[in-house]
């Protein structure tokens, strides 16, 4: 199956309830620092919302909960890979994407044959403190050359205005977080994103 070209990331199911009716077809639920029961409840609600709207839900990090709750996709950061049971994930029929930031991480990940690879931050990002500065567009092109047919997600400092150049550089999908969640009219911004990437 081909993943949608736009990939927003939200930290709770309330955002999904607002955004999925607008036509979002690929979304990540990235919950941080919540008790296990909260995480499982949020995954279950998000799973049901995505099923209603024909969207793909990607659960960040919580791979066991995702498997238990019948979610088909997970996203793993580099630190998550240390603890993730990839054979169990594969056996459950769950697809996974992975974050990469440098050559060593990319080489490590390629050996795992993930279902997509994310590169970030393409542009400076306010979302989290990172040791990596912006990767830049030439890096996007290099990554796409190296990963071949595996979908490449460009993330970090993403805006509608920057998306076209990231696609042109080789990304198959672009991902945004704060460009939507911090916008004064998130719904209008989401509609604009969908229009720009379809």
Q: Specify the fold of 6-197.
A: TIM Barrel (3.20.20)
Provide mean pLDDT across the span 135-163. 96
Provide mean pLDDT across the span 20-25. 98
pLDDT, position 124 = 85
**Share above pLDDT 70 across residues of the chain, in percent, rounded to a whole number:** 96
Provide mean pLDDT across the span 136-140. 96
Max Cα-Cα span within the chain: 43
pLDDT, position 134 = 85
pLDDT, position 162 = 96
pLDDT, position 125 = 76
The domain limits of the chain are: 6-197
Provide mean pLDDT across the span 105-125. 94
* Contact yes or no for 51/25 (Cβ under 8 A): no
Q: Residues 6 or more apart from 174 whose CB is under 8 A from it? A: 5, 6, 7, 153, 154, 155, 158, 163, 166, 167, 197
Judge whether residue 95 has pLDDT over 90.
yes
């Amino acid at each position: 199956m081909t993943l949608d070209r736009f990939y927003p990331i939200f930290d709770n199911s309330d955002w999904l309830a607002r955004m999925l009716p607008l036509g979002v077809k690929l979304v990540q639920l990235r919950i941080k620092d919540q008790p296990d029961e909260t995480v499982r409840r949020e995954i279950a609600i998000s799973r049901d919302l995505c099923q209603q709207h024909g969207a793909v839900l990607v659960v960040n990090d919580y791979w066991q909960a995702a498997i238990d709750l019948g979610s088909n996709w997970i996203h793993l950061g580099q630190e998550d890979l240390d603890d993730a049971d990839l054979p169990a994930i594969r056996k459950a029929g769950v697809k996974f994407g992975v974050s990469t930031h440098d050559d060593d991480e990319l080489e490590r990940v390629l050996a795992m044959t993930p279902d997509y690879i994310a590169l970030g931050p393409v542009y400076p990002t306010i979302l989290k403190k990172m040791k990596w500065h912006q990767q830049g567009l030439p890096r996007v092109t290099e990554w796409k050359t190296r990963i071949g047919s595996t979908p490449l997600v460009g993330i970090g400092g993403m805006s509608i205005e920057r998306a076209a150049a990231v696609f042109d550089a080789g990304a198959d999908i672009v991902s945004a977080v704060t460009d939507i969640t911090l916008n004064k009219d998130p719904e209008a911004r989401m509609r604009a994103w969908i229009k720009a990437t379809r």
